């Protein structure tokens, strides 16, 4: 059982929904990024999604693209991202960390070496947005054999024919993308999301977590109310980009977490 599995089992036992926070590793620099990540569990975050900076983030909107650029300009690399996880793990051995990004940096690092390094650092799961199920032998299956959850994205365009393929080798949880398009592009609507979540849950026993387009505590509550939890990314990254201190950003994160936990 991974930390992700254990966390969702504990939440289920308590009748609680999950709050997942996305932040970009190394934004705006290593030390401030580490301070923020270290503070997330205390702000109510159940699972941390840690963005891996990449030069061509095709699924991301401007907010997260700019965060990735800031991180890269500050010297962030895959190795430094793994070091950030190690530094976090020195004080927290329970909060799950999901690394979210693109295949190119992992491929360049070497898949076998990456999986060893990620496990050693304390990574629990991967979301690799540009590897479809047809490429599961590239990373998904080796990752699961190494003890890492491989989390797949389902979208409004994932129809009943495609859904079984998407779910086939998914573990940890299913990430439902609530809108078509890039991150931060539109607001998620619980009424639109609910039937899609129900359709996915009819096909899997995994938790279904909804992300994209959630910016407020009320939205977090509404979306978590029709799913097993929600993810907020762009709104948190934008708050950090406004020059707020880690304490200010964490205060904002707590309001979102509280919203999700009220569901």
Active site residue 60: yes
> How far does Cα 169 stand from its chain's mean position?
18
24 burial via Cβ count (<10 Å: 0-12, 13-18, 19+): buried
8 Å CB contact between 177 and 157 = no
Active site residue 134: no
Half-sphere exposure of 170 (CA within 13 A, CB side): 27
**Catalytically annotated residue among 5, 27, 46, 49:** 49
Task: Give strand pairing partners of 50.
Answer: 23, 99
**Catalytically annotated residue among 5, 27, 46, 60:** 60
- 241 vs 51: CA distance, rounded Å: 15
Helices (H), the chain: 3-14, 30-39, 62-73, 78-89, 103-109, 111-121, 140-145, 163-167, 190-201, 217-224, 234-241, 246-262
- The tokens for 91 are 């004080």
- 136 vs 129: CA distance, rounded Å: 12
8 Å CB contact between 55 and 72 = yes
Q: Which residues are part of the catalytic machinery?
A: 49, 60
């Amino acid at each position: 059982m991974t930390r992700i599995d254990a966390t969702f089992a504990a939440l289920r036992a308590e009748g609680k929904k999950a709050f997942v926070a996305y932040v970009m590793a190394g934004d705006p620099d290593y030390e401030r990024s580490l301070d923020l990540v270290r503070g997330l569990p205390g702000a109510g975050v159940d699972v941390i999604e840690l963005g891996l900076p990449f030069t061509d983030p095709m699924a991301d909107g401007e907010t997260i693209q700019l965060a990735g650029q800031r991180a890269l300009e500050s010297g962030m690399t895959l190795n430094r991202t793994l070091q950030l996880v190690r530094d976090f793990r020195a004080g927290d051995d329970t909060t799950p960390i999901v690394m979210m990004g693109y295949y190119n940096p992992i491929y360049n690092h070497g898949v076998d070496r990456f999986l060893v390094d990620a496990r050693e650092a304390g990574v629990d799961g991967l979301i690799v947005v540009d590897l479809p199920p047809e490429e599961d032998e590239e990373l998904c299956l080796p990752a699961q054999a190494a003890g890492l959850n491989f989390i797949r994205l389902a979208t409004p365009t994932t129809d009943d024919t495609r859904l079984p393929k998407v779910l086939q080798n998914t573990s940890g949880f299913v990430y439902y993308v609530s809108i078509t398009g890039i991150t931060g592009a539109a607001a998620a609507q619980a009424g639109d999301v609910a039937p899609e979540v129900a359709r996915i849950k009819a096909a899997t026993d995994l938790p279904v977590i909804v992300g994209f387009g959630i910016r407020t505590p009320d939205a977090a509550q509404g979306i978590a109310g029709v799913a097993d939890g929600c993810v907020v990314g762009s709104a948190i990254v934008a708050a950090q980009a406004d020059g707020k201190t880690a304490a200010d950003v964490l205060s904002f994160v707590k309001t979102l977490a509280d919203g999700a936990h009220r569901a």
